Amino acid sequence: CPFLKDSGLCKIIEELGDDGLCDICRLHPRFYESINDFNLAGVGLSCEKASELMFDKSSLDFINCDTEEKISFKELLVE
């Protein structure tokens, strides 16, 4: 991508935010899923920088947008 900076981050997002992206960039590698009563949004592993950031963490947590409560991936699967 010509807008990918040496840091691995997108120049368009840094300068204009998500609203500056075309449809392909706005959606890829993002995903949206519904599981039970939860609507999930995230990024797919096809994005090298996103994968690096996710796997650099000791755990993968989701945040409930209504309550700001953190929910672990394991807790999400049990519910």
57: pLDDT confidence band, cut at 50, 70 and 90?
Answer: low
pLDDT tens-digit map of 18-43: 888 887 777 777 788 888 887 888 77
48 compared with 9, residue with greater pLDDT: 9
CA distance linking residue 22 with residue 27, whole number of Å: 9
- Strand segments, DSSP code E, in the chain are 30-35, 38-43, 61-63, 70-72
Query: What is the DSSP annotation of 36-57?
Result: TTEEEEEE-TTSHHHHHHHHTS
| Inter-residue contact 9 to 17 (CB < 8 Å) | no
For residue 27, the model assigns a pLDDT of 79
State the chain's mean pLDDT as an integer. Answer: 80
- Tell me what the mean pLDDT of segment 36-63 comes to: 76
